[in-house]
Amino acid sequence: MKAWLIEQLQRLNMSEALVRPEGFTRQGYTTEETNAITVFRAIAEELGLASVEDAAGNIIARWEVPGGENAAVATGSHLDTVPNGGAFDGGAGIVCSLGAVKLLKQASFEPQRPIEVICFRSEESSRFGVSTIGSKAMSGLFDPTIGSLKDQHGTTLAEAVASQGFDWENLSKAKRPKEQLQSFVELHIEQGLHIVEHQKNYGVVKSIACPIRLTVTFNGKAGHTGTTPMDRRQDALTTAALFISFVQETALQLNDAYEKSLVATVSKLTSAPNSMNVIPHTVIAGVDIRSVDDLLKQKMAKAIRIEAERIEQTTGVSIAIDVLVDNPSVLLDPPLAEQLASDHETYSVHHMDSGAGHDVMNMAQVWPSGLLFIPCEDGLSHHPDESATAEDLVMGAELLARFLMEATTQ
């Protein structure tokens, strides 16, 4: 199983090396993502699964059970990456899901319900600033107004979708009736160090922190860098620097002051005109705030608003704050979490929260859903050094096989 899982991950990533200096760049609704999905369908077919593509480009690879119950039990993840990301974020969930099917087939298991491995489109928010587009469509959470969002090259989301053969106008048709699925479990690398620090083998997630995302625009005044006295400037970048430091310091303070953890990051920043001899007149920053404690997240956002008003007064640079995303945290299905955590003699479990969003948070709006974490090296993700051990991938396949077996035996 170990060799098979690694081989499939190599095929999906089209690289013998799973850790390499440039990482992997396979953004949502690109040919790179589509190519990986084509490999996924080939592997599913080799396992005897028939796969179909929905209107959003999600793939549902299905183990049909003609005489059994209708509602399927599903597992899955995604194959898109951030730019220069790793081979495991999304990929680990996909190969462990396929590995689980392989284990059940090898054991000649006969499910009483259909089993599905789902590969979702465009999970990462790095290209268009919105995440989990495929699973939103499948869960009926599709927002048609975001088709005009642009990537850094000016391509709109609707154009990107069309480039891969899908029609933005039809994306809502990917919505599945509730009765088609009984439950959904996603497996993902942890992207942190909680499992290892608690000396456990894997994690079962209770709730998922959804971000508040802000776009903050600083409007100052251009001027010649050589002739504009220091005390007569409205420099958008020095104002943004005060803001960035405030976000960092306040997030550290809130972590000290409250039990639940919070992270806040100024992750995007562009400065204009970005010329050596012109004072920056406009800075646009993206802020990502997360905590499973929604009140703590709101406290951070409120502190940012108050500070922005204060800085505006002292610097003369105007600051506008737009809310891109503000969703409450998602509580996953407690009975399913209990099932995923129970009766393990081989592997020990850590109950935890997830700081990152995943496709399962959309699926959980409709179907009882669960999330399994396997450890990843140094807690790293969204980084070329992102990796998980072959042993932990095997554990992942076994955990998912057990879930699928239990859920399709009743």
Site for a copy of itself in 307-336 (CB under 8 A): none
**Cβ neighbourhood burial of 193 (10 Å; 0-12, 13-18, 19+):** middle
Q: Give the gyration radius of the chain's Cα atoms.
A: 23
348 binding a copy of itself? (CB under 8 A)? no
Residues 98-130 as b or e (16 or more Cβ within 10 Å = b): bbbbbbbeeeebebebbbbbbbbbbbbbbbbbb
From the CB of 300, what's the least distance to a copy of itself, in Å?
A: 11
Is 288 a binder of a copy of itself (CB under 8 A)?
yes
Query: Which listed range, 38-46, 208-216, 331-339, 400-408, lies at the site for a copy of itself (CB under 8 A)?
Result: 208-216
Binder of a copy of itself out of 125, 132, 234, 329 (CB under 8 A):
125
Asked if 156 interacts with a copy of itself (CB under 8 A), we say no
Joined together, the tokens standing for residue 186 give: 């996603």
Site membership for a copy of itself, residue 245 (CB under 8 A)? yes
Q: Judged by CB under 8 A, does residue 355 bind a copy of itself?
A: yes
- The DSSP secondary-structure symbol of 144 reads G
Q: Which is nearer to a copy of itself, 97 or 315 (CB)?
A: 315
CB of 176 to a copy of itself, least distance (A): 26
How many residues of this chain interact with a copy of itself, rule: CB under 8 A? 72
Site for a copy of itself in 363-382 (CB under 8 A): 379-382
Q: Name every residue whose Cβ is closer than 8 Å to that of residue 131 and which is 6 or more positions away in sequence.
A: 123, 124, 125, 357
Nearest to 119 by CA among 79, 155, 150, 175: 79
Q: Is position 351 annotated in a ligand binding site? A: no
Q: Which is nearer to a copy of itself, 38 or 245 (CB)?
A: 245
Q: Judged by CB under 8 A, which of 114, 357, 368, 370 binds a copy of itself?
A: 357
- Decide: is 84 part of the binding site for a copy of itself (CB under 8 A): yes
* b (16+ CB within 10 A) / e for 48-78: ebebebbbbbbbbbbbebeeeeebbbbbbbb
Query: What HEC string does 121-134 produce?
Result: CCCCCCCCCCCCHH
* Cα separations in angstroms, 147 against 159, 161, 399: 8, 9, 37
**232 assigned ligand-binding residue:** no
Name which of residues 126 to 155 contact a copy of itself (CB under 8 A). 126, 129, 131, 152
Angle at alpha carbon of residue 151, lines to 146 and 154, rounded to 5°: 100
- Is 188 annotated in some ligand binding site? yes
Q: How far is the CB of 164 from a copy of itself (least distance, A)?
A: 20
Residue span binding a copy of itself (CB under 8 A) among the ranges 53-61, 259-267, 359-367, 401-409: 259-267
Q: Using CB under 8 A, pick the residue from 20, 150, 268, 351 that binds a copy of itself.
A: 268
Q: Please, which residue, 198 or 268, has the CB nearer to a copy of itself?
A: 268
Which residue lies nearer to a copy of itself by CB, 17 or 230?
Answer: 230
Q: Quote the DSSP letter at residue 20.
A: -
Amino acid at 59: I
Give residue 235's identity as a one-letter amino acid code: D
| Token pair for 339 | 């099932």
Annotated binding-site residue numbers for Zn(2+) = 78, 89, 124, 188, 382
Binding residues for allantoate: 213, 277, 290
Q: Which residues are annotated as a binding site?
A: 78, 89, 124, 188, 213, 277, 290, 382
